[in-house]
Amino acid sequence: MNQFSAARVAADSTAHDKEFLVFSLGGEEYAVDILKVQEIRGYENVTRIANAPDFIKGVANLRGVIVPIVDLRIKFRLTDIEYNTQTVVIVVNIEDRVVGIVVDGVSDVMTLKPDQIKPAPEFGVSMPVDYLSGLGNLEDRMLVLVDIEKLLTSDEMALVEKAAE
């Protein structure tokens, strides 16, 4: 293999690697594409919105931008937990909208190679898992990869948009 070919192989092997922000919810590790993440903030009180779905905690003003705050624990139907100093808001861009998602904590950023990403299991119609993009398989860890674009259905995105108005 000549120098050009070796460089191309090296570039190809890293071209498909993806970085994910790893966060925890209910003792499990989830991850979102790092390119969707705008910033990570500590949880601060939000302004509640009347008649909003329970998973929308309210809205927050982030440097002049009104951002709806979605609690993933409620969205994923996990048990309630009180917010503490580890609770953070991951500010993400979903379809040109800025949304904050509340999680139990953020641990690290992981780079996964394509062979470390397995397809998400199918559970049939009893459990919608469209928002799962796969499972990150590491030596001693399993990451649930969340497709943040599909996390909120279009109807829910309309509610999020109304909440931000």
Question: What CATH number has the domain bearing residue 79?
Answer: 2.40.50.180
Decide if 4 is inside a domain: no
- Buried b or exposed e, range 107-141, using 16+ CB within 10 angstroms: eeebebeeebbeebeeeeeeeeeebbbbbbeeeee
Distances (CA, A) of 81 to 27, 71, 77: 11, 11, 12
Q: What local confidence, expressed as pLDDT, does residue 162 receive?
A: 67
* Predicted local distance difference test score (pLDDT) of residue 2: 46
Average pLDDT, 10 consecutive residues per value, the chain (165 residues) = 47 70 93 95 90 87 91 85 91 88 94 90 61 87 89 70 64
Provide long-range contacts, Cβ within 8 A and 24+ apart, for 7-10: none
pLDDT of amino acid 37: 95
Query: For residue 23, what pLDDT is reported?
Result: 96
Let me know if residue 158 belongs to a domain: yes
From residue 93, alpha-carbon distances to 96, 97, 150 in Å are 6, 5, 12
Count of domains for the chain: 1
What pTM does this model have? 0.81
Q: Identify which of 155, 139, 43 has the alpha carbon closest to the alpha carbon of residue 100.
A: 43
Range of the domain at 103: 18-162
- 80 assigned to some structural domain: yes
Strand partners, 28: 25
